[in-house]
A and B are shown apart, each in its own frame.
Chain A
Amino acid sequence: MIISREALISSIDSLPRYRMSHLCTPLERAENMRTAIQDMTPYFVPPIYIKREDQTGLAFGGNKARHMEFLFGHILKNGYDTVINSNDFHSNQARFIAAACAKTKLKYYTVAEDKIGEPLTGNLLLCKLLGAEIHRSPTDYTDKVISRISNNVKSSGGTPFIVSNDEYADLCGMIGFLEAGVELESQLEPITGRIRMWGLAGRSIAGLQLYAKNRGLNWKSTAVMYSPGDSNNYRRLSVKRSEQVAELLGLNEALFSNDFDVLSGYSGPAYGMATDDVYKVIYLIAKTEGVILDPNYTGKSLSALIGEACSGNLEKYETICFIHSGGLPQVFFYGDEFSKYLIDRN
């Protein structure tokens, strides 16, 4: 059964929320890039739009600004005064939590895993500027570091919230992207035919597909794996989260594991490492559209889109909606890699 836009919005509006992103984000046509891709392949390349989630305005922008609004509504409502989380060294999420903690005046301890010797730049430098207390830890020791910080906070009378231990925190991304679905439905209204949402294998793309399913829209989704791993695991997690979100918001439909496509051939050797193909497409979109992508996430997503376009795997009558989920600070961590790639290319 189809839910009305108004009913869905009012259901979302019933959740605790702290506003901190600039919505709605723009949708831009990328005709220059489409033409450039068309020149690379005999197969027809469909129209491409970019949803500029890098423009949410919270400390360099990105999709997670939407998540934070619901997460911090929840944290504030429950009276926590301190937030603790561990993230990879590259993490955008660590930066968003830092920004949200600054705005809501909560103390934030971020534990950055891996690459302990690397100087602060990119997201981690911004964490520092945003007032986070940074702890560095080898991946195996993270849990110990977190429980030590947590105990210290408690013994000095604080009430810590550990993001990764919280079930609700795990759902906020999908909730935020139900709302992005509302935006996109209006923005894409003039387009006839099927829309294909294209993004990374995370909560955003699953949130959009959940929206489409409940609204009866003709959208399909492709989720691109950004690190080598089991894509079935991603499917299982998305289905589970969608069931919880559906229950929370009174939606009629949750996702089935075959409601969306998952691509796993474009993740490169590891999380945080990109192949030359990724650098090549980052260069292509910058040159044609003046849009910047990062090598960890959005660059991999675009390399998948172009890879599939050149293999003739895109549906002819679909319009692509590429989700630019942000990640802009981490580009500056890869200065050397970009330089090497550009020198080799010349």
Chain B
Amino acid sequence: MTKVYLTQEQLQKKIDKFPRTRIAHIPTPLEYMQNLTEYLGGCSIWVKREDMTGLAYGGNKARHYEFEMPAIKEAGYDTIINIMDYHSNNARMTAAAANKVGLRYVLILKNASNRKVQGNLLIDMILGADLHLLDEFQSANDHEYAIELKDRLESEGNKVYLIQDHLYPKLVGMIGFVEAGIELKSQIEKENLENIHIYGVAGRSLCGLIIAAKNMGLDWKFTGITVNYDMPLSEYIFQHKNDIKEILEVPITFKENDMRVLDEYVGEGYGIITPEVAEAIHLAGRTDAIICDPNYTGTVMAAIIDQIRQGKQNTSETLIFLHTGGLPAVFTFADQLANFSD
């Protein structure tokens, strides 16, 4: 038996102490992918629909901003600067969240000059983000660019919050997903599911679920799929395992080996869809009408399919696919996806 540190109610109280603005439509559904399950003939596959959080094409990050935005506002900031890659989902969802709470949003996008206005970049524009599109040379010095911009905006009387210079934005995603873990526990109980194995992008959302599971004494297993992050996981997530423990005031946090990490599905970089990912996107679509994106969820789906086909996934487990959203990117890669044939 796994040790129970906190009940569901006790863990919820830890979350409820943070200031919060309601932005996301939660709980998100847990759906059975019956047709894919039958097609692959292995374990049962369920999908946690984080693409249905309702904030400008949805996605897991809607949960983060419920905690991040009030903290920024309460500290008296009126302007946010965010530095992201041109294709970023985070960039889009931060724009939508900033609009909802009435903060000015300045978005510095790396490797973005001369890009076709499509996918997340198009939505960033529609959301009215104050865009700075950097070329490759400027992108190498993105932080300096941001600091200069921040200084200028401050000299004009604004109070500027540069997201990348703060710790809290690195933790809120985990806080949001501790709550998603509580949600998932109830859904799993309602559906009578056992031997839970969660597959998702190797990132903060999965770490939040791990914290939830460990503190509530649940024996869920986790597989994190590496996608194209600039930063290695250790720097990006693992160094914050104690920060999150302190801020949440929970007895136990995650550690590196709580998650099995699979690196082999990463492909050759952003913008290059591997045949496996293209197949995975089509298969999830044509079996259960679940749309995945080419970078994140498509890669996770490709890993799930491959693990089951190769017999590496225990058939007695219940697999839960964490669908973190990213839907606008489908259209950035319209040509590649349209030309796929099996």
Contacts and interface: CB of A to CB of B under 8 A. Distances in A.
Interface of B is mostly: helix
A292 B337 CA distance: 24
B187 interface: no
A111 to B, nearest CB: 17
Given A102-B289, A125-B334, A335-B116, A290 B126 contact: no
Given A332-B331, A338-B117, A130 B289 contact: yes
Given A105-B35, A125-B334, A338-B122, A287 B127 contact: yes
A22 interface: yes
Interface in A289-346: 289-292, 328-329, 331-332, 335-336, 338-339, 342
A232 to B, nearest CB: 35
B99 A290 contact: yes
A51 to B, nearest CB: 12
B225 to A, nearest CB: 20
B125 interface: yes
Contacts of A130: 285-286, 289, 291
Contacts of A282: 126
B337 A129 contact: yes
B40 to A, nearest CB: 15
A129 B281 CA distance: 7
Given A52-B25, A282-B126, A290 B291 contact: no
Contacts of B126: 282-283, 286, 292, 331, 338, 342
B246 to A, nearest CB: 31
Interface of A is mostly: helix
B282 interface: yes
Contact of B119 (A61, A120, A292, A332): A332
Interface band, chain A = 35 or more
Interface residues of B, number: 42
B338 interface: yes
A145 interface: no
A126 interface: yes
Interface string A1-31: 0000000000000000000101000100000
Contacts of B125: 338-339, 342
A102 B100 contact: no
Nearest to B96: A290
Interface of B: 25, 29, 35, 49, 52, 54-57, 95-97, 99-100, 102, 116-119, 122-123, 125-128, 281-282, 285-291, 327-328, 330-331, 334-335, 337-338
27 contacts: A32-B100, A32-B102, A58-B289, A59-B290, A102-B287, A102-B288, A120-B334, A120-B338, A122-B331, A129-B285, A129-B337, A130-B285, A130-B289, A130-B291, A286-B126, A287-B127, A290-B55, A290-B95, A290-B99, A290-B100, A292-B56, A331-B122, A338-B117, A338-B125, A338-B126, A339-B117, A339-B122
Q: Across the A-B interface, give the 9 residue pairs with the lowest CB-CB distance, nearest first.
A: A131-B286, A290-B96, A332-B331, A129-B285, A99-B289, A120-B338, A287-B128, A121-B334, A102-B289
Interface of A: 20, 22, 26, 32, 52, 55, 57-61, 98-100, 102-103, 105, 119-122, 125-126, 128-131, 282-283, 286-292, 328-329, 331-332, 335-336, 338-339, 342
